[in-house]
Amino acid sequence: MSHKVIARKWRPQRFDEVVGQQAVTRTLRNAIANNRLVAQAFVFAGPRGVGKTTTARILARALNCEQSGGPTPDPCGTCAACVEIAEGRDMDVLEIDAATHTGVDNIREVIIEGLAILPVRDRKKVFIIDEVHQLSSSSFNALLKSVEEPPPHVVFMMATTELDKIPETILSRSQVYEFRMISTKAIADQLRKICDAEQIEVDDEALQLIARDADGSMRDAQSKLDQVIAFSGNRITTEDVGTVLGLVGRDLLLNTLQAVVDEDAVQAFVLAGRAVEMGYDLRLVCRELARVVRDLLVLAVDPTRASDPEIAGEAERERLLDLAKRFSREDLLRSFDLLTRAEQEIRGAAQPRYHLEMALLRWIHQRKLVAIEDLIQQAGSGSLASGRTAAPAAAGLRSAAPATSRTAASPGQVSSPAAAPARAVPPAPARPTIGSTGGRAESAPPSRLAAPAATPRVAAADELTPIPAAGALGGSALKDAVLAEARASEKMLYNTVLAQAQRIEVLGDRLVITFAAGFKFGPTFNTYRTKMETMATRLAGRRIIVEADGSGSPVVEEQQAAQPAKPAVDQEKQAALKEQAMADTAVQALLEVFPAEIRDVEEM
């Protein structure tokens, strides 16, 4: 006897032998047993390799079995009709490939013209049309009337993998049975039955690997098993399955997840190189990693699923449970999206290995992300060091921050680049208001700030001195440095403010800019005051306050009237309140995490 492939040799011959389609087979069996099989046309729809054409053949045998004397739910399998239908050579059961007979002339010649001819031997004349969705529109129209009202001795059975391509006019005249994908466990059990009957020694993990790779198709699983048997003979191991089918070993996948959870970038690069050396398709590596991430998410939601063979084999359950505990659900959801994008990127990449390595590195750093609500909650409780959650995130934020410390200053105040952390910096003195008597006791008298009428304008750009390095500058050197830097990097500030001034002087810790009488500089000057103070403070190496003098300008007078000076006692109280607020643990924690500034403190 010639050799038969496993998919044909183990093809089901009875309804009970069809795996994973109990809803369909039980309905057909009961309909035949109760004499309620009244449909003249059936549509079997579902994925490839799940038993559509096989069920159509079994139904044809049930209708034509000779020993039963009529339709039977259990065909004998030994009579001439049963044997010939199983072998595909019964004259009254015609199997038609719609992909070949797609034209309307083929349908008329093969089906329509033979409808009136009675069966030669069987009780029913059966037309099994495989992949019926490939028929043309004219073929469906020609077949429509025959499907609706065929002769009493004719039954149509149509199989398809794309139900949505069949016209509604055909579906409404047929009984539609939808086949499902077969579970991994059911496929593995059937493969175990086949291997025991064929006297093939095989590991359960190897069968699980084949069943998982079949993706719900029994025929695909049987074909893969036949391929592995041809490679390894009567003893099959998990390594043999991975070698023949090109599957990614579970050890490599789990080791990769372990490297990610341990944040071991070196090991991640080593494992990526190993995947390349073993010849794996790197898209498949990403796909299998995503599948393991999905399994971890299932275990995180329901740990009792660890005993499910579709999730984990017996040898890897404990390891998967341990990994599931070290990932949060948010981590797993982000990881699944990252791996899905990596698979798409690798598809058209010239260097797939680089994309895989970068994806693993992003995966490691992605685990350091912390939900903002967790940070706020931990900051409010005064604790930012709780294992992997807040401490690495806070450290990362601090390291990414600029060197200048966050100080409790108003928008116009800037701390020194070498200043200590925010909690150690004392509150800076309040900015004095022009004309104030309480802000600075030693401010220059108004006569000194007045600008003579003959004072020349600011020097041209080509007369400015080069920008000096930041340090202890003062006097004319500080003024020249501020002008040079503003001309180079802040052209709007230079053109709208500094270039309009009659005189610029450095008086101790103040930079006084004098404008002509009547010049309305107020809104523009206030807009750029903070930038000028920042620039001057950095260049001088100490706190510099920028002031304006309009020599009687209406705008200045309005500002003086609208902003009365605060008593010195209030300023001391304000400074004490700010110092008390800065000493609070929660405030210090928030300032370490968020780039915020305390502009004012009010006693409640």
Among the listed ranges 80-94, 171-185, 326-340, 440-454, which one has the minimum average pLDDT value? 440-454
Same-domain status, 131 and 42? yes
Question: 408 near 427, Cβ under 8 Å?
Answer: yes
pLDDT of 382-391, one tens digit each?
544 444 444 4
The SS3 assignment for 235 reads: strand
Q: Do residues 14 and 126 both lie within one domain?
A: yes
> At 49, which CATH number?
3.40.50.300
CATH code of 218's domain: 1.10.8.60
Q: What is the pTM of this model?
A: 0.58
Sign of CA dihedral 33, 36, 42, 43: negative
Residues 12, 133, single domain; the answer is yes
Alpha-carbon distances of 32 from 69, 73, 75, 403, rounded to whole Å: 13, 6, 11, 83
Exposed/middle/buried for residue 436 (C-beta within 10 Å: 0-12, 13-18, 19+): middle
pLDDT tens track for 60-72: 999 988 887 778 8
Mean pLDDT on 294-306:
87
Last residue of a domain, one of 332, 366, 400: 366
| 227 and 127, same domain (yes or no) | no
Closest by Cα among 39, 69, 79 to 56? 39
Decide if 595 is inside a domain: no
Cα–Cα–Cα angle for 490, 496, 499, nearest 5°? Answer: 90
pLDDT tens digit string along 27-46? Answer: 999 999 888 877 889 999 99
- What pLDDT score does 280 carry? 86
- Longest Cα pair distance anywhere in the chain, in angstroms? 127
The Cα–Cα gap between 514 and 520 comes to 12
Separation CA 45–CA 176 (nearest Å): 7
Beta strand pairing status for 510-514 and 503-507? antiparallel
- Looking at the domain assignment, is residue 140 inside a domain? yes
Residue 551 lies in a domain: yes
Say if residues 311 and 350 touch (Cβ distance below 8 Å).
no
Average pLDDT of the chain is: 77
Residue 545 to residue 543: CA distance in whole angstroms: 7
Using CA of residue 276, residue 279, residue 284, residue 290, what is the dihedral sign?
Answer: negative
Same domain flag for 483 and 544: yes
User: Both 255 and 234 in a single domain?
Assistant: no
User: Residue 285 belongs to a domain with what CATH number?
Assistant: 1.20.272.10
For residues 25 and 127, membership in a common domain is answered with yes
Question: Which pair of structure tokens corresponds to residue 442?
Answer: 């030693």
Same domain, 241 and 278: no
Is residue 547 within a helix (H) or strand (E), and if so which, with residue range?
strand 545-549
Q: Do 150 and 16 share a structural domain? A: yes
- Closest to 19 measured CA to CA, from 158, 192, 175, 160: 192
Residue 519 lies in a domain: yes
Identify the domain boundary among 178, 197, 222: 178
Structural domain ending residue among the three candidates 330, 351, 366: 366
Residues 220 and 258 in one domain: no
Residues 274 and 141 in one domain: no
Within a domain: residue 398?
no
Domain count, the chain: 4
**Is residue 323 in a domain?**
yes
What gap in Å lies between CA 499 and CA 377, rounded to an integer? Answer: 50
Q: Is residue 260 part of a domain?
A: yes
Do residue 157 and residue 10 come from a single domain? yes
Residue 267's domain comprises 250-366
